[in-house]
Structure 1
Amino acid sequence: MPPIPLTAFLAGLVVLAAPAAHADMPTFEIVAENGRLTPETIEVPANTRFRLQLTNRNAGPEEFETTSPFKELVVGPGVTRTTIFPPLKPGSYPFFGEFHPDTAKGRFVAK
């Protein structure tokens, strides 16, 4: 068996280390249901990366969106997806469901 090139070996280490790096990351859950996002307010730690887990219980798709920082996450009905947010400075950051903009609204409050 030929030796493994160093770059391939290092790339494999990065892949193996990545899940462990996210294991202790704060995770916050939002549920899209009946055209709403619940909870509407989520307190997150300021200056800390965090994971958002979105479960869509609507009959159709939902697109979770923030403008600052810019994030979009399209989730089909019955599906759960996650995304990682960068550290947020203290403040309030609105989010919304693009397919239900009048009712699917909320905000992150970084403290």
Structure 2
Amino acid sequence: MGSAARLFPAMPALLIVTLWLAAPARAAAPVRIVLKNHGFTPDTVHVPANKRLLFDITNQDATPAEFESSDLRVEKIVVPGGRILVRAGPLRPGTYRFFDDYHPDQARGTVIASQSQTGQ
């Protein structure tokens, strides 16, 4: 047994516990959203709080769209017929708005993060 192991016998266990406590929040299941006729479906999604999120967004319109949210700090273009993946979070419990920047009056949505949700 090395001298470090004799001086610090609990070091491996302590390291494992420290890494586990410092690990970032795990991702929830992907949140699938479809953009069609300049609207989001679903337009309200419920997600677990304190989890990383992955939005899987498909644009079924013949025009480009921009998934944007100052609340979520995201802004990403999705081409006609295209698909994007957008990472966000972890989110504190609350309500977060998103929209299509090209059609902000038509395409709007809401993410509701709460402790009791198991994800979408």
TM-score by length of structure 1 reads 0.76
Looking at structure 2, the residues matched to 46 and 75 of structure 1 have their Cα atoms a distance apart, in angstroms, of 26
Q: Is 1:43–2:28 an aligned residue pair?
A: no
Please say which structure displays the higher CA radius of gyration.
2
Q: Does 1:102 align with 2:102?
A: no
Count, aligned residues: 89
Runs of at least 5 residues in structure 2 that lack an aligned partner in the other structure:
1-26, 115-120
CA apart distance, 1:93: 0.2
**1:11-55: per-residue Cα shift (whole Å, max 9, x none)?**
xxxxxxxxxxxxx64200111111111111000110000100000
CA RMSD of aligned residues (A): 1.4
- How far is the alpha carbon of 1:69 from its aligned partner? 2.4
CA distance in 2 between counterparts of 1:49 and 1:63 reads 21
Q: Which runs of 5+ in 1 are unaligned?
A: 1-23
Partners of 1:47 and 1:25 in 2: how far apart? 9
Distance in 2 (CA, whole Å) between partners of 1:36 and 1:69 is 19
Equivalent in the alignment of 1:76: 79
Tell me how far 1:83 sits from its aligned partner.
1.2
User: How many angstroms apart in 1 are the aligned matches of 2:70 and 2:58?
Assistant: 20
Structure 2 residue matching 1:83: 3-state secondary structure: strand
Code of the residue aligned with 1:28 in structure 2: it is V
Name the structure with the higher strand share: 1
TM-score, with normalisation over the residues of structure 2? 0.70
Identity of aligned residues (%): 40
